[in-house]
A = this chain, B = another copy of it.
Amino acid sequence: MGVTRFQVAVSLDGYIAGPRQSQSEPLGEGGERLHDWMTPLEAWRRQHEGYAGGTATPSTPVLEEVQANIGAVVMGRNMFGGGPGPWKDTSWRGWWGENPPFHTPVYVVTHHARPSAEMEGGTTFHFVTDGVDAAIQAARDTAGERDVLISGGANVIQQALALGAVDEFFLHITPLILGDGERLLVNVGDLRLRQIRGVVASNVTHLKYHVEPPERRAPS
């Protein structure tokens, strides 16, 4: 079995998106800067349609690690986009163009059913209406020996952590203060974490944690 994991860039004050998210600013005001360490990387640019060139930094092996060995992806409706509520139409097929950078099945957690959307390059969006737990289970069945990546946003990650469904995660800690927006580590339950890796790069630090099994209670 692969592991179930997530990775996300976070401001120093704990937000993964700034305030007032919108279709034109999906990461909210100031939130794009969370990715300032990533978007110049060649390892990122070659994965994303319309980008070329780029550099290598101490962040490169981290990005390569988090992108490797993914067999299926889980994401929330807000991350997939297309606005809240029932689908107005199904012409919205995500933020990423016709060839999204996932190249695996992607399970989108939503209250509103719609047919799966097969994209170029191996990405297929499936829409799961019976919760985060069911989406993770479907993703694990698909991924098999490979890993399940929980892509976001905050709410889906929080539910997955609270369910005890996450094995490990990478936080990319940026030197931003966003002040408001979507906080990552709230409502995640009583987690026991162990720091298993850290990479100090230029204006970002990558910290990897393992989620430990709940503490055994002494027999009474």
> Which positions in A face B, CB cutoff 8 Å?
12-14, 171, 173, 175-177, 179, 185-186, 188, 190-191, 193-195, 197-200, 202-205, 207, 209
* A212 to chain B: closest residue by CB: B175
Instruction: Give the docked Cα–Cα distance between A39 and B209 (Å).
Output: 22
Q: Does A12 lie within 8 Å of B205, measured CB to CB? A: no
CB <8 Å contact, B195 and A204: yes
Q: Complex: how many Å from CA A205 to CA B170? A: 14
Q: Is the CB of B14 within 8 A of A209?
A: no
Would A198 and B195 be within 8 Å (CB), given that A13-B185, A14-B14, A177-B188 are in contact?
Answer: no
Residue contact B179 to A12, C-beta cutoff 8 Å: no
**Considering only CB atoms, which chain B residue lies closest to A12 in the complex?**
B185
How many copies of this chain?
2
Find out whether the CB atom of A205 lies under 8 angstroms from the CB atom of B203: no
- Say how far A32's CB is from chain B's closest CB, in angstroms: 16
CB-defined contacts of A177 to chain B, threshold 8 Å = 185, 188, 190-191, 193
> How long is the Cα–Cα vector from A84 to B56 in the complex, in angstroms?
53
Query: Which 5 A-B residue pairings sit nearest by Cβ, starting from the closest?
Result: A198-B200, A13-B185, A175-B193, A177-B191, A14-B14
A154 to chain B, nearest CB (A): 12
| A194–B207 touching, CB < 8 Å | no
* Cα-based distance from A202 to B196 in the complex (angstroms): 9
User: What separation, in Å, do the CA atoms of A205 and B137 have in the docked complex?
Assistant: 33
Roughly how many angstroms separate A190 CA and B176 CA in the complex, as a whole number?
A: 10
Q: Are B203 and A195 in contact (CB under 8 A)?
A: yes
Partner of A194 from B173, B179, B203 at Cβ < 8 Å: B203
CB <8 Å contact, B12 and A209: yes
When distances are taken between beta carbons in the complex, the residues of chain B under 8 Å from A202 are: 195
Which residue of B193, B197, B203, B207 is within 8 Å of A176 (Cβ)? B193
With A13-B185, A193-B12 known to touch, is A173 a contact of B203 (CB < 8 Å)? no
A178 nearest CB across to chain B (Å): 10
Q: With A and B bound together, what is the CA distance between A188 and B179 in angstroms?
A: 8
